[in-house]
Chain A
Amino acid sequence: MAHVPAVALSLKAMATRFELLLYGDDPTRLRAAGEEALGEIERLESQLSFYRSDSEVRWINQRAAFQPVRIDPRLFRLLEKCAELTTATDGAFDITVGPLMRAWKFVGEGGAMPSREDLEAARERSGMHLISFDEDTFSISFARPGVEIDLGGYGKGYAIERAVELLRENGVKSALLHGGTSSVYGIGTPAKGKSWKVALSRPFPADPDPPVATLDDRALSVSAVHGKSFDAGGRQYGHVIDPRTGRPVSRALAAAVAGQSPSVCEALSKALLVHGPAWLIALEERFPGYQASVAFLNDVDVIEQSGNF
């Protein structure tokens, strides 16, 4: 068979770029399948966006403290899943961390140590226990004003998951897709070569070789301490909050998780960044089949990697 080029599609959504590379012998049908997958990502963005004025998440955030809010049952299930992941990660993955992020001025600003009062106020408004679920009416409510959900740390993985499902349903047998290069999935195997292989870039140590994930029908998610770090009280802080303490994470720099589900990988990579290398054992025990690595600053401020990539 002659070499068939990939059908490539892309979309700007969720403040990043999604790309699909689809392989097969009918480009017209591959493209149609890809368009349906991108359509679903677009739909999810308009539903899950924290910022869009008419997104369902915005709708919830504005109202759920005042009255129970009826929501799309699929979103209800997604939020339940997020709550389960919060439990399974000992509170390190948390979609209600927004008020803390703002208290530390991590939203659109460089970061700064908050006052004790501001930090306390933000902690009162963070935590999954502040969200109640009513299964009968598919409604959710917040315990108090100021609580908000932000799926920024989950939406991309979820979007990739849904896209993969649609591509499979539409008969796609070989594909690589990613959202912002931090959430990746390989369907089947490549047309040429044995496996989808993705290397982890810095801050993962590249010497002698960078860590590599094999993604045959598997997902990879990478989370890093983004933005600049800042100094306060003789300590360096990065832009990731530990939801349990309300304080930024100081030693872990990046975390990568590979496994079956893109959305679970996304949540676990966030949690691993919060917990650091000590949590690798718990992760592998609780999530069989998942593989994880974390890059962190050791006691003498040298970047080290721990994990099994």
Chain B
Amino acid sequence: MKNDRFDRRDFLKTATAGFALLLTEEELRAAGAIQDDPIPGPPLKIGVIGAGLWGRDILTTLSRQPAAQVTAISDIYEPYLKKGLEVAPKASGQADYRRLIESPEVEAVVVATPTHQHKEIVLAALQAGKHVYCEAPLANTVEDARAIAQAALQVPKQVFQAGLQGRSNPLYRHVLQFVKTGVLGNAAYVTAQWNKKQSWRRVAPTPEREKEMNWRLSHKTAAGLIGEIGLHQLDLINWYLGGLPAAVQGFGSITNWNDGREAPDTIQTIFEYPAGVRAVYTSTLTSSFSDSFTTFQGSNSSLIMREKRSWMVKEADSALLGWEVYARKETVHNETGIAMVADATKLIEEGKEPGKEGPVEPAKDSLNMAFEYFIRSIRAGDKPVCDPKVGYQATVIGIKANEAILSGARVVLDSALFELKQS
């Protein structure tokens, strides 16, 4: 810094350790933070139906996307509509979703309403020729989920993406490459949990509105913890194991939130995957212990997957992997784990240590990436990252698992259940 002109390169060279947060432009590109490959075409005009908590998270994500323009928001509940419009002040707001769907200012529709309302809205949107991003689960009955997926498959020129945003998670996609090369060895079993101490209950000014808002607590309007939340991790298991379960058993009870609800606040389920592999999924709203993760255990190594961090723990007798020497090691579950860092392939090739040089966690979260992929599918014709069939299958597994929980019976998942007619 010899003169007044600020030289970035000099600055970076002389920067103290505290400035490590600031990456060079090249590093930012490498980390995907600055896009080399902008999405072609004008911003996609998007209408968002449902401006509840999740709908507003989606609106927030879209507000940051240069390739997206939210032109319309719909919610039957006026306070939600108002809050939604704070995130997208230039959008039009309407109570009736049909007006949004009919609008020529809407090219793509995001459906973020309560699950049991998806079918009517998605079918209308597809009918009107719109692209659709439908939140997961697609529906709370197999019939509705099938109707949605089948309708989406009938209009292949319209993009349909299911909201299983794990499919867009940069970390999950990165680790998948290792799974495909067989790092697990022979898979033994999978354990997964989602724990949060939370009542799941909502308040509203009137009893009627409050009932509508608490749709998740009723069997009629929701598929329970496993169908509403668990399906995201079940989809990761389907994805990594490359198969679907043939049967499920489950248990459920109300252990803490005994407030007149129907839905269990605590569940345990066992899924029978091919080759003798079982997945044990547990979830509770009573205890937050260790929150959420999925662990794949195999004869060569185990993979611990959290939303933003992942580790590989190797068996002592498994072969050394070429890149292992560069990897960042951390203690996880009293073992030495290799930190899996998204977008690290390039760093490894350059002989750099992922996680030391560059961030450990992805710069963009899954939801952000999910919409980037969605818009890219529409504008650039890329293959959808989570198609109707993937969305349908995870939805159905969740619904059937909820049946097993509520009935106490082992529910067989016939392969015909997962089939859809391709147009």
What residues make up the interface of A, taking CB atoms closer than 8 Å to B? 28-29, 31-33, 35-36, 39, 43, 47, 52-54, 56, 58-59, 61-63, 66-67, 70-74, 102, 105, 107-108, 117, 120-121, 124, 138, 144-146, 148, 169-171
Contact = CB atoms under 8 A, between A and B. Distances in A.
B1 A117 contact: yes
A31 B201 contact: yes
Interface residues of B, number: 43
B212 interface: no
Contacts of B89: 73
Nearest to B366: A54
A67 B36 CA distance: 13
B16 interface: yes
Nearest to A40: B53
B363 A54 contact: yes
Given A63-B34, A117-B1, 20 more contacts: A29-B201, A31-B201, A32-B201, A32-B203, A36-B53, A53-B308, A53-B361, A54-B308, A54-B362, A54-B364, A58-B21, A61-B22, A62-B22, A72-B60, A72-B63, A72-B87, A73-B87, A73-B89, A74-B60, A102-B16
Contacts of A62: 22-23, 28, 33, 363
Given A73-B63, A171-B205, A53 B362 contact: yes
A43 B198 contact: no
B66 A70 contact: yes
Nearest to B202: A32
Q: Which of A53, A105, A120, A169 has the most CB of B within 10 A?
A: A53
A39 B56 CA distance: 13
A145 B204 CA distance: 46
A171 B203 contact: yes
A32 B205 CA distance: 13
Contacts of B8: 145-146
A32 B66 CA distance: 36
Contact of A72 (B34, B64, B202): B64
Nearest to B53: A39
A28 B88 contact: no
19 contacts: A32-B199, A35-B198, A39-B53, A54-B308, A54-B365, A54-B368, A62-B33, A62-B363, A63-B33, A63-B34, A71-B63, A72-B87, A73-B87, A102-B16, A102-B18, A120-B1, A124-B6, A145-B11, A146-B11
A43 B63 contact: no
Contacts of A138: 63
Contacts of A39: 53
Interface of B: 1, 6, 8, 11, 16, 18-19, 21-23, 25, 28, 33-34, 53, 57, 60, 63-66, 79, 86-89, 198-199, 201-205, 259, 308, 359-365, 368
A93 B282 CA distance: 48
Contacts of B361: 52-54
Nearest to A67: B34
Contacts of A108: 18
A31 B63 CA distance: 31
B21 A61 contact: yes
A83 B64 CA distance: 21
Contacts of B79: 169
A53 B363 CA distance: 6
B63 to A, nearest CB: 5
Contacts of A56: 64
Nearest to B28: A62
A59 B64 contact: yes
Contacts of B308: 53-54
Contacts of B360: 53
A255 B19 CA distance: 30
B263 to A, nearest CB: 15
Contact of B259 (A28, A36, A59, A105): A28
5 tightest Cβ-Cβ pairs between the two chains A and B: A53-B361, A32-B201, A102-B18, A170-B203, A54-B365
Given A53-B359, A66-B34, A145 B201 contact: no
Nearest to A108: B18
Nearest to B261: A28
A144 B202 contact: no
B201 A74 contact: no
A59 B363 contact: yes
A173 to B, nearest CB: 13
